Structures are given as C-alpha cells and as structure tokens.
C-alpha cells in the first residue's frame, strides 16, 4: 500500500454511495460525487498520494451510519471525512430530529478529535418537488442543527440547501430521489470548491458557478401524466413498499471501497 498523504473517507447513505450516477464497471454499479471528488483531490495533490474509502450504503438511516461507519472510518486514520446522515430519517412518518442530531454531534466530535477535517451537509430544499417539498420544515430544522454542530466542533458545512441549480430536474435521476450523473459531477465540484476555496475546473476563482443548461420546453400535459405514472410505478411504489416492510435497497450491499485505494486510479 502506498504512503497516503491524504486519507479521505466518505460516510453516509445513497447520496454519498453514488446512487443515480450509474457505472456498471464500479462497485455496486455506481460512481458518484465522492469518487469524483477523490479523483479531483488526487489530481490536485502534486507529489502527494490520496487514499480514498467509501463506506456509504444506500438506505441507511442516521443511527445505522454512525454505528456501522464511524468506527470503521476512524480505523483508517482519516485526514478528511465527508458525512451526510439523516435524510432517510426525515422522510419517516415520525422522527425526533433533536435526539438524532445530538447523536450526530457526538460522532462529529469523535471524528474531529482524530484530527480529521470533517465536511457535513445540510439537506436539500426540495421546494420544486410536490412529493418531497412537504419535508421542507423538517429539513430546515435539521439544517440549523447541522450548522450548530459544525460551528461548535470545527466542522465545515457544504450548504446543499442553497444549491439552486438542483431545482432543475436534469440534475436528478429518473427516480427523482437521487442525483443524476450531472448532479453528482456538479456536487463534486461544489465540495471541492468548498474544501479549497479557490480555483476549480468549473469556476476560475471566487464564487462557485454552476453549469448553465440550455432552456427546454416543458413536456406536453399528456406526456407529463405518462411520465408521472411511470415514476409512481417504477420508483415511488417500490420505495413505499420498502418502508412498509422494513426493508432497504442496501440490505444486501457492502461498502464500495471499505479500504483505502489510490484515488488517482478512479478516472474514466
């Protein structure tokens, strides 16, 4: 194993696992923003070598992420950790956000005490979604608690709530729940920019500049109805069925990269 000068470990659920950014050649059949970020860090490392592990598994709720992933991450002696946990809890009928975030804060303390830089995420403002927009209030409370944890314990916040480009459905996959490949690429740029606060391939300097997409005409009403019916059948109903049966799309999956790999090898 090479001597890694940076050891980046990604923790979380489907958001960090990479669901929506399909790549059959990669573990679990996805790539995702964290893989893309790791490669960007490697390309920016000069003579350094970036190690990368991704412990995230789709469907995991906050307590599962903390129980399964934090100790495993600490065992890898990370210098950088990204973590997003709690989105799957917010979607449940009942949730004690204050109690969950108290546990989240304790986990962040442990990660910070290891010496790692920690990046946390706020939840997305789903105002454009007639389905998930109903969770805006819960997400806003969650976000304020996340910002408080970051301020109290020296973590860095990636403020997904304010990423307005994600109100364009082209940044989302066919299931309308996970980012598309475009969305994942953009998120990698966003996180890299937040991490470094300087030049990126998208923004020459200063404020981040999201990609400008061409304007497209809205679907005719009949086509929109058909698309909504297909989404309900193929994505919404299976998701509801899993909630009712207590199963998860990640039940049979293992972490994509449980051990540090050379991030420079993650290119196309």
208 falls within a domain: yes
C-alpha–C-alpha distance, residues 219 and 224, integer Å = 6
Q: Please tell me the distance from the alpha carbon of residue 65 to that of residue 248, in angstroms, as a whole number.
A: 14
Give the CATH number, domain containing residue 124: 3.40.50.1110
Query: Tell me, what's the pLDDT at 197?
Result: 64
Domain-embedded: residue 147: yes
Is residue 129 domain-resident? Answer: yes
CB 140 within 8 A of CB 162: no
Q: So what's the pLDDT on residue 222?
A: 84
CA distances from 176 to 58, 130, 142, 207 (A): 15, 11, 21, 28
Residues 257/28, Cβ–Cβ less than 8 Å:
no
Question: Which residue range(s) make up the domain with 118?
Answer: 6-217+256-265
Contact 41, 54 (CB under 8 A): no
pLDDT digits 0-9 by tens, 91-146: 888 999 999 999 999 999 999 999 999 999 999 998 877 767 778 999 999 999 99
pLDDT at 206: 62
* Structure tokens, 209: 């500049």
Inside any domain, residue 231:
no
Residue 234 lies in a domain: no
Contact 170, 213 (CB under 8 A): yes
Domain annotation covers residue 110? yes
Cα 229 from Cα 99, distance rounded (Å):
37
Distance, in Å, from the CA atom of 147 to the CA atom of 83, rounded to the nearest integer, reads 13
Residue 1 located in a structural domain: no
The share of the chain scoring above pLDDT 90, in percent, equals 69
Question: What are the φ and ψ backbone dihedral angles of 215, each rounded to 5 degrees?
Answer: -70, 135
Task: Please provide the size of the chain in residues.
Answer: 268
Domain count, the chain: 1
Please count the other Cβ atoms lying within 10 Å of the Cβ belonging to residue 129.
17
The pLDDT profile of the chain, 268 residues, written as one tens digit per residue, is: 578 999 999 999 999 999 999 999 999 999 999 999 999 999 999 999 999 999 999 999 999 999 999 999 999 999 999 999 999 999 888 999 999 999 999 999 999 999 999 999 999 998 877 767 778 999 999 999 999 999 999 999 999 999 999 999 899 999 888 999 999 999 999 999 999 864 334 444 567 788 888 887 787 888 778 877 887 788 778 778 887 777 878 888 999 999 999 999 998 7
């Amino acid at each position: 194993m090479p001597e890694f000068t940076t050891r980046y470990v990604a923790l979380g659920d489907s958001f960090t696992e990479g669901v929506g950014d399909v790549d059959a050649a990669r573990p679990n059949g996805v790539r995702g923003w964290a893989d893309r970020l790791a490669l960007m860090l490697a390309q920016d490392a000069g003579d350094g070598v970036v190690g990368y592990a991704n412990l995230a598994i789709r469907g995991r709720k906050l307590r599962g992420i903390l129980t399964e992933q934090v100790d495993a991450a600490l065992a890898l002696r990370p210098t950088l950790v990204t973590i997003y946990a709690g989105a799957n809890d917010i979607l449940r009928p009942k949730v004690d956000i204050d109690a969950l975030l108290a546990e989240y804060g304790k986990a962040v303390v442990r990660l910070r005490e290891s010496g790692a830089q920690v990046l946390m995420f706020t939840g997305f403002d789903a105002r454009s979604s007639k389905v998930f927009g109903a969770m805006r209030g819960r997400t806003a409370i969650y976000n304020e608690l996340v910002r408080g944890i970051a301020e109290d314990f020296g973590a860095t916040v990636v403020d997904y709530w304010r990423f307005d480009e994600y109100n364009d459905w082209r940044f989302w996959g066919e299931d309308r729940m996970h980012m598309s490949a475009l969305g994942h690429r953009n998120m990698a740029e966003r996180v890299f920019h937040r991490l470094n606060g300087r030049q990126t391939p998208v923004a020459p300097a200063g404020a981040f500049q999201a990609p400008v997409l061409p304007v497209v005409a809205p679907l005719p009403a009949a086509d929109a109805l058909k698309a909504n019916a297909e989404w309900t059948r193929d994505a919404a109903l299976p998701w509801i069925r899993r909630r009712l049966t207590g199963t998860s799309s990640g039940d049979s999956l293992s972490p994509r990269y449980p051990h540090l790999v050379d991030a420079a090898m993650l290119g196309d």
